[in-house]
Structure 1
Amino acid sequence: MTAEFGSELDGQVAIVTGASSGIGEATAKSLAARGASVVLAARREDELDELAAQIEDEDGETLVVPTDITDDEDIDTVVETTTDEYGRIDILVNNAGVMPLTHIADADRETLQRTIDVNLTGLITLTHAVIPTMLEQESGHVVNLSSVVGRFLQSNSTHYNAAKAGVKMFGDSLRLDVASEGIRVATIEPGAVSTELLEHIPDEEIKEGVEGHVGTMQALQPDDIARAITFVVTQPEHVDINEVLIRPTDQVQP
C-alpha cells in the first residue's frame, strides 16, 4: 500500500475497534497505508473481511478479529490473538461507539446501559487489557474517540454526553499513570461527522432534528478524522498530542 508521506509506522501493530465502517474503517486504511499491521476489530465479520481484502489488495497487512467491545472474553481474545500473531501492540484506537440519543425520560435502561458499556466501559476494559503489553515494551499509543458533546452539552443526550465526557477524563487520567513509561495518550473529539451513528437514534423526531442540524453545514467525513488520528500517532516519540477537537468549519454549536 503506497503511503502519502512515507511509511512512519513500518513494523508497528495497531488495533482499531469499530473498524467495520465510518471512522474506524477510514483509520484502519490510513494506518495500513503508513506501514502498520492493523488488527480489525468489530462485530460485523463480513464487513471486516471486505475491508481486509481492500487493504491487502494495496499490499497492506491486516488481521480480522470479530469483537464485541462489551464482551470481556472478546476483549481478551483480540489482545491475545494480536500478541500471538505479532508479539506487540503499538497503537490502540478505541473508536467503537453508539449514539442512541433520546430524552432521559423516554430512555429505557437497556439503552442507558448499552451507551455506557460501548462508549466508555468497553473502551476502559480493552485499554486495561492492552496496557500490560505496552508497559512491557515501554512504548505505545492509546487513542480514544470522544466527541464534541463530551465537552459541550447537547440536549436529549444525557447518557451520551456523560459517556463521552468520561472518555476524556479517562484519557487524561490514564496519561498520568503511563506517560513516564513511554506510553502516549490522545483524545480525539469530533464534531459533526457523516457516519452511520445517526442511524442509532431511536426517536424519529430527535433523529430528524440532528440530521437537519448536520445538514446546515458541510459535515466532516470519516477520512478527515482518520487523517487527524494518523497525524497524532506518527509524531516523534517525545511528542504527545493529548487532545484534538475537530469540527466542520461552519459548525458553531455542538
Structure 2
Amino acid sequence: MIENKVIVITGASSGIGQAAAVRLAKAGAKVVLSARRVDRLEETVRKIVNEGGHATQFAVDVTAKDDVQSLADFAVKTYGTVDVWINNAGLMPLSFLNKRKLSEWDQMIDVNIKGVLYGIAAALPIMEQQNSGHIINVSSVAGHRVGMGGAVYSGTKFAVRAITEGLRMELSSSSNIRATIISPGMVETELLSTITDEDALSALKSRAASEALQSADIAEAILYAIDQPQRTSVNEILIRPTKQQS
C-alpha cells in the first residue's frame, strides 16, 4: 500500500516530519520533504537516498499560500502526482493569556491553522482529478483538552480537528480521498524550545509524562493510517505516552 506512493510532508526538517520521511521512504514511498531549513532537509534527503530510498526537498514557508502551491506543483513535476499530503508543520509557543504575546498568537494561527488550510487547498485539486488520495493533519492531544498556558495553542489544534472532520465528511460523500488526524501527546521534539513564557513552560513540565513519545512512534502511526486498504479510512489516532495522565 505504501510502495511508490508520492508523499509530501511539511515541517520535515526535524521531529515528527523528519521521522515520518525516513520511515515512509524505508517502506518504499517517494517522499517530498519541505520546511524552511533547507540544510536540514538536504541532510535527511541524503540519508534516505544513501539507504536506497527516493526523496527530494523543497523550501517552503507554510504561512505563504503561494509557497505551498509551489510545493504541490514541484511534487507533481518531480514524481507525477501526490498520493498523500501530510500537514505536519506546527508551532507550540505556550503562554498565559495575560502575558499578551500577540505576535506568538499570530504566528501559531498562521502556521497551525492557515498552513493546514493552504496544504489542503494545494493537494485537493490533484487528488480530486485522480479520485484518490489521503490528507493527514498532525494535531495534538491539545486538540482534545486545554492545558494551563495552552489556550491559544489548543485553539489552533481544536480548529485543525474541526477542519479535518469537515474535510472527511465532504470527501466521503463523493470521492475516494481519505482524511486522517494524528493527535500525539507529549513528544520529545524541538517544540519546547519555542516556549518563551517560563510560567507556561513550568506548567507543561509539571504535567508531562515521565517518558515522552519519540518522533518515530508517531511516524509508525502515520504509516499505519496510510497502509490500510482503500475501503478503510483511519479518521483519527490519539496517541499518548503510557504514563501521561491527561
Q: CA deviation at 1:205?
A: 2.9
Q: Which moved more, 1:163-172 or 1:203-212?
A: 203-212
Q: Structure 2: how far apart are the matches of 1:200 and 1:167?
A: 20
Q: Deviations over 1:116-163 (max 9, x none)?
A: 110111111111111000001110011101110110111111110110
Residue 206 (structure 1) aligned to one of 189, 197, 200: 200
The amino acid of 1:109's aligned partner reads L
Alpha-carbon offset, residue 177 of structure 1? 1.3
**Identity, % of aligned pairs?**
38
Equivalent position SS for 1:125: helix
Q: Secondary structure at the match of 1:120?
A: helix
State the match for 1:175 in structure 2: 168
Any residues of structure 2 matched to 1:101-140 within 5 Å, and which? 101-140=94-133
Deviates more, 1:15-24 or 1:198-207: 198-207
TM-score of the superposed pair, with normalisation by structure 2: 0.97
1:18-33 correspondence to structure 2 within 5 Å: 18-33=11-26
Q: Which whole-Å CA distance do the structure 2 matches of 1:183 and 1:85 have between them? A: 22
Instruction: For structure 1, list consecutive stretches of 5 or more residues without a partner in the other structure.
Output: 1-7
CA offset at residue 212 of structure 1?
4.3
Given that 2:149 and 2:203 are in contact with CA atoms closer than 8 Å, whether structure 1 keeps it comes out as no
Q: 1:147 aligns with which of 120, 135, 140?
A: 140
Could you tell me how far apart the structure 2 residues matched to 1:107 and 1:95 are?
Answer: 26
SS at match of 2:72: helix
Two-structure CA RMSD over aligned residues (Å): 1.1
1:71 aligned residue (64, 73, 81):
64
User: Which secondary structure does the structure 2 equivalent of 1:181 belong to?
Assistant: coil
Cα deviation digits, residues 33-81 of structure 1 (max 9, x gap): 1111100010000000000000001111111101110012211110111
The structural deviation recorded for 1:15 is 0.3
3-state SS of the aligned residue for 2:97? coil
What is the distance in 2 between the residues matched to 1:225 and 1:68? Answer: 23
2:95/2:101 contact within 8 Å kept: no
Separation in 1, partners of 2:161, 2:141: 10
Confirm or deny that 1:197 pairs with 2:175: no
**Which region of structure 1 is more displaced relative to structure 2, 227-236 or 69-78?**
69-78
Counterpart Cα distance in 2 of 1:107 and 1:21: 29
Q: State the distance in 2 between where 1:126 and 1:244 align.
A: 20
Out of 37, 47, 53, the position equivalent to 1:60 is 53
Contact 1:198–1:211 (Cα < 8 Å) also in 2: no
TM-score relative to the length of structure 1: 0.94
